[in-house]
Structure 1
């Protein structure tokens, strides 16, 4: 009997060796929030948002990744990553895990070497994977983060794409170019091109990213947006600012769609700032974001948005964080041009927990 057990154990060794380079990782996170926002979709008889209580998954995921050494400095790399909904609620139709498709997040196969890194699959743009420092918040559908910024609204990942990351020719310098092939539209020409670069030195950083969407509106016009970020993130200090512009269809840039019925070519500007300081296990933070200069089909959209977020993270361990945050949006866009009536302001208060494994 013991000999059979030993034989089985020995037979299993090659399998164990083959699996040794596979890493399982993930994040489990959720919050409880009281929120009065247009994004919740709950409105009163006058179309103003009503306060509701939510328990939301704020970004849980599970992933599998690995590498194989091919010799001469060349490696095969792969990853499969999937969104989760631990609150048991079906995600909205535009969420990354709304369908039955597996690998809804960054999933790819590729090669890495002295030439850099090439991946093919479902891949984040450079702005989504390597930028976004100003939006240092954990949140779901509320406004307790920079929810009206392009960091939240536009940065994303693109299926059927290939991405090339440059090698680090200069210490601290990174960059990438990505091309996503359209396989869904009737014209098969709504392709996506993204480029980006970042430089870090002694905690200081600067990042720029640009995305181009072919045939984005009016049948054949190209849409685009870009964002510049900069700041300092070291020695327990976070100071990060951003500025950007966008020119996209309202079906792509949904910043204003939750509270207006405007459709067409949307142009706008955005800027913001986040400050944080870690004291022991606690990191208090503050963010300010602004959206202004909006026009749809060349007609000015009167008003602007100011967003304020205040909160703190508490590190229970290296992998577990508890947090509390409050977000307030001063919505100064005009709902009725004749009367000057403005859209309603929004707010969210939330407490939650995030665990990484």
Structure 2
């Protein structure tokens, strides 16, 4: 009997060894918020946004990753990551926009070595994975308690059917990547995407640049397909309990409909509706964030501005100023409580020359990482 038990235990050893290379990780987070925004879609009889109370999942996820040493400095790497909705809603009605499909976030298989890293799957652009320091907030996509109208929130994302190459760190502090995604939804109007980005850090100071291009992104009034693009520059300091980060960017993309997809911009259509979806939308943006950690508390302040917007070459005659104030409280190394208030001062006007409403969100939430 003892010999049988020993044999069973020995037989299980290779399985245990194989499982040891798999890491399970994730984030569970949610908030309670009171919000009056166009993103909520709740309006009064005059078409103005009404205040609503929401309990939202603000970005929960679970992931599985691992690697295998192939020898000579070469590794096989893989990851499957899925967005969650712990509040019970899904898709466009949820606070984070995730559906219930698997592998909805970065998921890939690839190789890593002295040459760098090559991955194939659903992959983030460089700006999505390695930038975004000026938007240091936890929030959902229905509120304005983060830099909701910046490209960090509106445009940074993941590319399906993609291949990504990350350069090796041949210069200390320098990293970069190239991403190419193939559109498989059409045999005629290919909407392949291209992304490139790099960042350099030294003694807490950093500078980041990223560029994204979308082929056949929108059509002119004459029916001609045009490419869309956006770029953003970030710089600042993030060390010694201090965060000071700023950004500037420009975009020329298809105006999004209510659902929105990567390569579209919902900044204007949040106000104007779906009538202008697919048309050329240009804009400029800039902003900054300041934060300081003392003890367990990190108070933060952000300012963002969108201006110079035009739709099909017609000036939209307005701008957005966004202010966010709040603080994070570290309950432990993995658990954070947070509170924030966001306000958007809106001077844009609709097609009848009526000024759009200002927006605001106040939220309190908890995030736990495992």
Hey, what does 1:63 align to over in structure 2? Answer: 63
8 Å contact 1:336–1:342 — kept in the other structure? no
Task: Look up the SS of the partner of 2:14 in the other structure.
Answer: helix
Hey, what does 1:255 align to over in structure 2? Answer: 267
* Match of residue 349, structure 2, among 334, 338, 344: 334
Hey, what does 1:169 align to over in structure 2? Answer: 170
Hey, what does 1:355 align to over in structure 2? Answer: 368
8 Å contact 1:270–1:292 — kept in the other structure? yes
Instruction: Kindly indicate whether residue 117 of structure 2 is the aligned counterpart of residue 117 of structure 1.
Output: yes
What's the offset of the Cα at 1:6?
A: 3.3
8 Å contact 1:273–1:288 — kept in the other structure? yes
Q: 1:93 to 1:324 in 2, by over 3 A?
A: closer
What's the offset of the Cα at 1:334?
A: 1.5
For residues 47 and 177 of structure 2, what CA distance do their matches in structure 1 show?
A: 43
8 Å contact 1:96–1:105 — kept in the other structure? no
8 Å contact 1:182–1:188 — kept in the other structure? no
Hey, what does 2:260 align to over in structure 1? Answer: none
For residues 2 and 320 of structure 1, what CA distance do their matches in structure 2 show?
A: 45
The superposition leaves residues 141-199 of structure 1 with CA deviations (integer Å, 9 ceiling, x where unpaired) of 20000000000000000110000000001000000011000001342510000000000
What's the offset of the Cα at 1:220?
A: 1.8
8 Å contact 1:85–1:91 — kept in the other structure? no
Query: Given the two structures, how large is their TM-score scaled by the length of structure 1?
Result: 0.96
For residues 33 and 199 of structure 1, what CA distance do their matches in structure 2 show?
A: 37
Hey, what does 2:298 align to over in structure 1? Answer: 283
Alignment of 1:163-312 (within 5 A): 163-187=164-188, 189-218=190-219, 219-251=224-256, 252-261=264-273, 262-263=276-277, 264-312=279-327
Consecutive unaligned residues in structure 2, runs of 5 or more: 257-263
What's the offset of the Cα at 1:3?
A: 4.3
What's the offset of the Cα at 1:337?
A: 5.2
For residues 12 and 189 of structure 2, what CA distance do their matches in structure 1 show?
A: 48
Task: Look up the SS of the partner of 2:253 in the other structure.
Answer: strand
Hey, what does 2:331 align to over in structure 1? Answer: 316
For residues 37 and 97 of structure 1, what CA distance do their matches in structure 2 show?
A: 20
Task: Look up the SS of the partner of 1:38 in the other structure.
Answer: coil
Q: 1:40 to 1:281 in 2, by over 3 A?
A: same
For residues 161 and 68 of structure 1, what CA distance do their matches in structure 2 show?
A: 22
Consecutive unaligned residues in structure 1, runs of 5 or more: none
The worse-fitting range, judged by mean Cα deviation, of 10-19 and 103-112 is 10-19
For residues 145 and 96 of structure 1, what CA distance do their matches in structure 2 show?
A: 16
The superposition leaves residues 18-75 of structure 1 with CA deviations (integer Å, 9 ceiling, x where unpaired) of 1111100000000000000000000000000000000000000000000111111111
Query: Given the two structures, how large is their TM-score scaled by the length of structure 2?
Result: 0.93
8 Å contact 2:189–2:216 — kept in the other structure? no
What's the offset of the Cα at 1:2?
A: 4.5
For residues 93 and 213 of structure 1, what CA distance do their matches in structure 2 show?
A: 27
Instruction: Kindly indicate whether residue 86 of structure 2 is the aligned counterpart of residue 86 of structure 1.
Output: yes
Q: RMSD across aligned C-alpha pairs, in angstroms?
A: 1.4
For residues 48 and 217 of structure 1, what CA distance do their matches in structure 2 show?
A: 29
